């Protein structure tokens, strides 16, 4: 996927200000930045769901504008922030819809699963609740079902808009581990919007930070995730260090707008000794 000089404005507000990026096969790119910086808009332009005022997007060398909606769906699978729910729709029925781009309307009339549906359900850990209604699933199960829907399209590129939104930490890691397996085991190229910078640094091969609709930083996590990025992009003071286990950067936010954080008081000596004795 290759994008060049993407520009988009809503009235007097510039949303994308000449953004360019190239994503090679099997790479995971994380888009980060504050709310309103253009992350979701960029993802929608890359998916062909929104047309930029100027600039080009190419997938596999072909211009996005030259492809039909069905052709784009064969190349790009999109996981939006939210999807409308249909009462009583089972996971299996939901995932079958992802085969439309490949099977077409006549193929869908035949019903039934093809091997890709079963494979997607298995790969995302959904086989055990494939016949359960989607609206009765937990948040983590529902997100896995949506990933199965994206996977079954057989598209080489996955575009994920905040795939961990509304999930607890356990389910966040479960979903991100699953995305990593889709890249490693199924050869998918991934572009995702992530709010948690430490998670972006841990999972993605590359971090792209946007500020005011423009590219601020683009590179491996070890080069892009810095205290300067925290200040300039997220408007917070913080610390960044390298995790000894993963070799990836981790960060913690200390203050907003230069305000000082008062450290917690040290325990009295007797209390400290008591803690050690336990």
Residue 271 lies in a domain: no
pLDDT tens across 207-259, in order?
999 999 999 999 999 999 999 999 999 999 999 999 999 999 999 999 886 55
CATH code where residue 151 lies: 3.40.50.300
pLDDT top residue among 264 and 163:
163
Cα 84 → chain centroid: 19
Comparing C-alpha atoms, which of 60, 52, 75 is closest to residue 23?
Answer: 60
Planar angle of CA 233, 238, 242, nearest 5 degrees:
100
Share of the chain above pLDDT 90, in %: 63
Quick one: average pLDDT of 21-44? 95
3-state SS, 66-79, equals HCCHHHHHHHEEEE
Residue 172 lies in a domain: yes
Share of the chain above pLDDT 70, in %: 87
Residue 274 lies in a domain: no
Quick one: pLDDT band at residue 150, thresholds 50, 70, 90?
Answer: confident
The whole domain housing 138 covers: 2-224
Residues 6+ apart with CB under 8 A from 261: 254, 255
pLDDT tens across 97-149, in order?
888 766 655 454 455 557 889 988 998 889 999 999 998 998 888 888 988 89
pLDDT at 216: 96
Number of domains within the chain = 1
pLDDT top residue among 28 and 174:
28
pLDDT at 81: 77
Tell me which H or E stretch contains 28: strand 28-32
Residue 273 lies in a domain: no
pLDDT at 98: 86
**Cα separation, 42 vs 28, whole angstroms:** 16
Statement: residue 274 has pLDDT above 50: no
pLDDT top residue among 127 and 261:
127
Residue 248 lies in a domain: no
Residue 251 lies in a domain: no
Statement: residue 87 has pLDDT above 70: yes
pTM as predicted: 0.84
Statement: residue 164 has pLDDT above 90: no
Residue 182 lies in a domain: yes
Residues 6+ apart with CB under 8 A from 209: 32, 33, 215, 216, 217, 218, 224, 229, 233
Residue 112 lies in a domain: yes
- Cβ(18)–Cβ(182) under 8 Å? no
Tell me which H or E stretch contains 6: strand 2-10
Mean pLDDT of the chain: 87
pLDDT at 104: 59
């Amino acid at each position: 996927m290759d994008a060049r000089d993407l520009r988009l404005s809503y009235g007097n507000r510039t949303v994308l200000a000449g953004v360019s990026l190239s994503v090679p096969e099997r790479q995971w790119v994380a888009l980060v930045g504050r709310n309103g910086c253009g992350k979701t808009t960029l993802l929608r332009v890359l998916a062909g769901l929104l047309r930029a005022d100027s600039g080009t997007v190419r997938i596999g060398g072909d211009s996005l504008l030259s492809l039909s909606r069905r052709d784009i769906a064969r190349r790009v699978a999109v996981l939006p922030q939210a999807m409308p729910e249909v009462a009583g729709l089972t996971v299996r029925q939901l995932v079958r819809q992802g085969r439309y781009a490949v099977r077409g309307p006549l193929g869908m009339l035949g019903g039934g699963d093809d091997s890709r549906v079963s494979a997607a359900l298995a790969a995302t850990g959904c086989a055990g609740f494939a016949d359960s209604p989607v609206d009765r699933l937990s948040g983590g199960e529902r997100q896995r079902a949506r990933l199965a829907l994206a996977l079954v399209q057989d598209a080489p590129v996955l575009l994920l808009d905040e795939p961990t939104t509304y999930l607890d930490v356990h389910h966040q890691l479960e979903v991100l581990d699953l995305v990593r397996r889709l890249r490693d085991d199924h050869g998918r190229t991934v572009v995702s919007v992530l709010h948690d910078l430490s998670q972006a640094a841990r999972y993605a091969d590359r971090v792209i930070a946007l500020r005011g609709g423009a590219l601020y930083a683009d590179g491996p996590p070890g080069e892009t995730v810095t205290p300067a990025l925290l200040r300039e992009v997220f408007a917070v003071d913080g610390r960044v260090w390298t995790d000894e286990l993963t070799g990836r950067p981790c960060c913690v936010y200390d203050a907003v707008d230069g305000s000082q954080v008062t450290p917690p008081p040290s325990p009295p000596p007797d209390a400290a000794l008591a803690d050690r004795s336990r």
